[in-house]
Amino acid sequence: MDHFLYRDGELFAEDVPVADIAAAVGTPFYLYSTATLTRHYQLFDDALDGMEHMVCYAMKAASNQAILKTLADLGAGMDVVSGGEYARAKAAGVPGERIVFSGVGKTRAEIRAALEGGIRQFNVESEPELLVISEIAASLGKTAPITVRVNPDVDAKTHAKIATGKSENKFGIPIAKARAVYAEAAALPGIDVIGIDVHIGSQLTDLEPYELAYRKVADLTEQLRADGHNIRRLDLGGGLGIPYTRSNEAPPLPSDYGALIKRTVGHLGCEIEIEPGRLIAGNAGILVSRVIYVKEGEGRNFLILDGAMNDLIRPAMYDAHHDIVPVVEPDAGVEQQPYDIVGPVCESGDTFAKNRMMPPLRAGDLVAFRSAGAYGAVMASEYNTRPLVPEVLAKCDQFAVIRQRPDFDEIINRDTIPPWL
């Protein structure tokens, strides 16, 4: 459920007409709903009720500080995967004790910054990384709380580019090697082994892979405890999928997922962490764009928008589907027609949808890409020297620009011409 609904024939973000924001900000822009972000966070928090837990938002999904602060004020922790994300979470006011550091290639500088600024735990992804964390922590006279990310060799049944839990993926330590790595970790200076981490992929629409993975984690917890480790926290990753179409998709609910967690690992008495990103931010954001031209092609009509693949890469990168709706609600019974919906970027990959049935649209009309809140703005670029797309946050009848559209000078002045030219 989200808070982008038609009222009197017009699309609203909560209590604000989307067209008013477009008039004030220009297009394209991302628009988020505070109520939807809040609701989705709350669903996870409620799903884990009765267990000691922390919902650590995977901020890679949408990392604007206004979004981070909205969630942190509700009690969320953050899952970060780079020094930049760590710094951004801190800047948004998230204390280090609520920040989990994931990622397969943490650099020395990133590890040092997190140890100095405070960290809830590192999710360690390899033995070399473990040694580096130990060395840096010991040299700073600190202790690094760690989990080891295990790779359970489970098929997440999702898009190949976003599956992470098979042995062929670069992520984690093979679960069969885990006991040896924990023994090594326990003997190292500057390391406090606190738990286990697992994350098997993104946009999971079936709970079965979670069930398989979490049962393996439960078994491993018991083995590691028998080996003498004080396993007291389980980070179960993120990845729960969202509906991208309004029609027939019904992925599992956070409450089903919470029940699964209780069923598979609840008996262990561990504190539970989860790292959802997409389910919190995905349907809490839309991309608003304007039709520049309607072009008649050979046997097809192109809807040429002012938004492009640099603003929303998911269709080009993952063949992802986003519902695209007109901001002015079509009259009931209006006949739909097929369009190829494209952006102005100079490559054919800049296509959002082919043969998409839409009500008739004209130059100047506004459209909204639904389910664009996660992995939308964060994956945007300035390809074709198109300004990085701005972001707006709505709350009830208010809205605020939370990232300005840069002007051309800001973009161009980042380049430096060397003295020999």
Catalytic residues: 346
Q: Does 314 bind ligand LLP (CB under 6 A)?
A: yes
Dihedral over Cα of 74, 77, 78, 84: its sign: positive
Beta pairing partners, 358: 337
CB-CB contact of 100 with 146 (8 Å) = no
Q: Which stretch binds ligand LLP (CB under 6 A): 128-136, 214-222, 274-282, 399-407?
A: 274-282
Q: Does 371 bind ligand LLP (CB under 6 A)?
A: no
Q: Does 199 bind ligand LLP (CB under 6 A)?
A: yes
Distance CA 63, CA 78 (A): 10
Q: Does 214 bind ligand LLP (CB under 6 A)?
A: no
Return the residue matching tokens 């967690």: 261
Q: Does 79 bind ligand LLP (CB under 6 A)?
A: yes
Among residues 198, 233, 228, 232, which one has the least CA distance to residue 214?
Answer: 198
Cβ at position 189, least distance to ligand LLP in Å: 27
DSSP 119-143: -SEEEE-SHHHHHHHHHHHHHHT--
Q: Does 209 bind ligand LLP (CB under 6 A)?
A: no
Q: Which is nearer to ligand LLP, 339 or 375 (CB)?
A: 375
Cβ at position 335, least distance to ligand LLP in Å: 33
CB-CB contact of 102 with 149 (8 Å) = yes
Cβ at position 343, least distance to ligand LLP in Å: 17
Among residues 254, 222, 219, which one has the least CA distance to residue 238?
Answer: 254
Q: Which stretch binds ligand LLP (CB under 6 A): 128-136, 249-257, 273-281, 401-409?
A: 273-281
The residue from 16, 43, 61, 380 that contacts ligand LLP (CB under 6 A) is 61
Distance CA 149, CA 102 (A): 9
Beta pairing partners, 343: none
Q: Does 238 bind ligand LLP (CB under 6 A)?
A: yes
Cβ at position 340, least distance to ligand LLP in Å: 22
Q: Does 402 bind ligand LLP (CB under 6 A)?
A: no
Outline where 266-321 has alpha helix (H).
278-281, 314-318
Site residues (vs ligand LLP, CB under 6 A): 58, 61, 79, 102, 162, 199, 202-203, 237-239, 275-279, 314, 318, 374-375
